[in-house]
Amino acid sequence: MPPLPPVTQALLLINIATYALDVLLGGQLTLWFGLWPLGSFFMPWQVVTYAFMHGSFNHLFFNMLGVFMFGSELERLWGTRRFIHFYGASLLTAAIAQLIVTNLAGGPPYPTVGASGGLFGLLLAFGMLFPRRVILLFFVLPVPAGVLVVLYGLLELFQGVFGTQQGVAHFAHLGGMLGGWLMIRYWRRQAPFGRR
């Protein structure tokens, strides 16, 4: 097995370290670095830092498993610089989508945390670049990557619109996918950025 590329490795280590430190500090990092809705405790840096906070060990584990699975291969394919740009675009569009939705929906303010927006961008890219590659869903069910991306996108849209799984930032996940899709379109000089 080839060694982990540097950015993927750094993402895993930083996320694990910040989770452990946040637990030790009783959630104080989340208060400062989670993504709060506009008009509450929002600070500009939170559109990036929220992605390094996680609400539970399971949340951290599954996000980092996805970053490991998809991010390492994409970083090897694209190189470090392009991978950083892609992951960053996915995180930013996920944050913007979440801020828009929480602003429109109102309700009690609480912070959004987790690397899921970036992960969903990576998942989308993997599905676009390797649509026939088989992924074992739940480690047992073989599904082509392209099909998996469509299913996940539709599931997130359904859950976001109908309010299932309260406390999950479904529109941030979709925002991450949108950011990833836009980056790939930009690199390919496809609409809305130009023609081939």
Does residue 85 carry a catalytic annotation?
A: no
Burial code of 114-124, b = ≥16 C-beta within 10 A, e = fewer? bbbbbbbbbbb
Residue 173 is among the residues annotated as catalytic for this protein: yes
Residue 86, Cβ neighbours under 10 Å: how many?
24
Widest CA span in the chain: 51
Say which residue the tokens 């610089």 belong to. Answer: 81
Q: Which of 54, 72, 90, 116 is catalytic?
A: 116
- Whose tokens are 């996320």? That residue is 15
Angle at 140 (CA atoms; ends 135, 146), nearest 5 degrees: 25
Catalytic hit among 54, 90, 170, 173: 173
Q: What share of the chain is helix, strand, coil (3-state, %, to 5)?
A: 65, 5, 30
Measure the CA–CA gap between 61 and 34, rounded to whole angstroms.
18
By annotation, the residues acting in catalysis are: 116, 173
